[in-house]
Amino acid sequence: MHASWHPTEAFGIHWDDHDTVVFQLEGAKRWNLYGATRADPLRLDVEAPEKPGGPPLAEVILQAGDMLYVPRGWWHAVAATQGRSLHLTCGLTPVTGHHLLVWLAGQLLPLLPPPPPTHPARERTHGGRPRRGRRVRRAAAQGSHRGAPPSRGR
C-alpha cells in the first residue's frame, strides 16, 4: 500500500522484478511508463538493466477505482497529482529457474547418504591446531621421512 500527500516521485524512476497490478483506492496518481530496457530482469541478475534514455512511452493518470498492470522490468515513475492519494500494489512474482533449482535441491538432499564420520583424533585441537601436528613436527625434527613416526631401536 502506497500513500502520498505531495506530487513528488517517492521512488524516482525504477523497475520491479515482478509483474505489478495496481489498484487506485483514493485520489489520483500519475504513472510515467518507460518500458523495459532488458527482457525479464531479476533483482539479483548478472547485470542491472540500463535506465531508459528518452521520454516516457505513456503517461497514465489513475483515479479512484482504476487498475493498472505493469509488466516485470518496465521502468516507471509515480507521483500523486494533488492532495492525498492511496493505491494498493500487488506484486506477482514469476517462477524462475532459480526457484526450480532450490526446489530440486530440497527434494534431493534427503536422498543423499550422510557424510562419513570424522576421525575423533582429528577433531581434538590444541590452540586451534590439530593435535596430530605435534607428532608430525616431532618426526620432522628427528629426520624421519614424510612425517612418519621415527623407528625405534635403531
Write out the three cell numbers for 29. 496518481
Q: Would you say 10 and 78 are in contact if contact means Cβ atoms under 8 Å apart?
A: yes
Q: Would you say 72 and 21 are in contact if contact means Cβ atoms under 8 Å apart?
A: no
Q: Would you say 27 and 85 are in contact if contact means Cβ atoms under 8 Å apart?
A: yes
3-state secondary structure of 64: coil
Q: What is the pLDDT of residue 144?
A: 47
Q: What is the pLDDT of residue 49?
A: 80
Q: What is the pLDDT of residue 148?
A: 45
- pTM exceeds 0.75, yes or no: no
What is the tens place of the pLDDT at every residue in 72-130? 999 999 988 888 888 889 999 878 888 899 899 999 998 888 888 887 655 555 555 55
Q: CATH top-level class for 2-94?
A: mainly beta
What is the tens place of the pLDDT at every residue in 133-149? 555 555 555 554 444 44
